[in-house]
Amino acid sequence: MQNAKDTFYITLRNRLTTVNPSRTMVLRAVTRPGILVQEAEAPVPQPHLDAFALSWTGLVADLQMPAILAQMGCEIQYSTAGAQNNAGLDRGRALEEMDYEVLKLLYPYSAQKMNYTQNPATAMETMVFWSEPEFGPVVTLRDRLSRTAKVTVFAYQEQGEQ
């Protein structure tokens, strides 16, 4: 299942460089696309603004199939306070831009499962696929707007895979 989670993140990260190359952030002294896996970074008291944070939630395993089908819940959380040169008054527009980017990042709804524990990464035998996003309501906290989009990621557990 970890390979599916890694594949999902790296697929979205690579798509983000095409969808919006200017959405970058500096994290641990590296300038990188503005998307991260929460469980692979240090905990922070405030969410990173203008970046997408993936967190893995639910897990359901379907054992009635020839191979175990794992369904993993993924929440894509994002927040913005708008741009400095607009004094934050464009935060609604900035959030809408991020909503649109989520739609673009997720389509097409599948990718070849990769094993990133090897260098270079190797392609596995099955695909990872996921549902359309389910957008939650906007949450307003002072000058910050946030939203969470929920996606269910499906992957077959291959033989020998941890």
Q: Which of 121, 127, 129, 135 binds another protein (CB under 8 A)?
A: 121
Q: Identify the residue whose tokens are 């199939």.
A: 65
Side-chain-facing half-sphere of 148: CA atoms under 13 Å: 10
Least separation in angstroms between residue 10's CB and another protein is 6
Residue 36 within binding range of another protein, rule CB under 8 A: yes
> Could you give the C-alpha distances from 31 to 11, 24, 88, 143, in angstroms and in order?
18, 7, 23, 25
Could you say which DSSP state residue 23 is in?
A: -
d(CA 32, CA 5): 19
Residue 84 within binding range of another protein, rule CB under 8 A: no
Backbone angle region of 71, left / alpha / beta, with phi > 0 → left and psi within -120 to 50 → alpha: beta
Q: Which of 4, 12, 37, 149 binds another protein (CB under 8 A)?
A: 37
Residues 5-24 that bind another protein (CB under 8 A): 5-6, 9-10, 13
Q: Which of 22, 28, 63, 142 binds another protein (CB under 8 A)?
A: 28
Contact positions toward another protein, by CB under 8 A? 5-6, 9-10, 13, 27-30, 32, 36-37, 39-40, 42-43, 45, 116-117, 119, 121
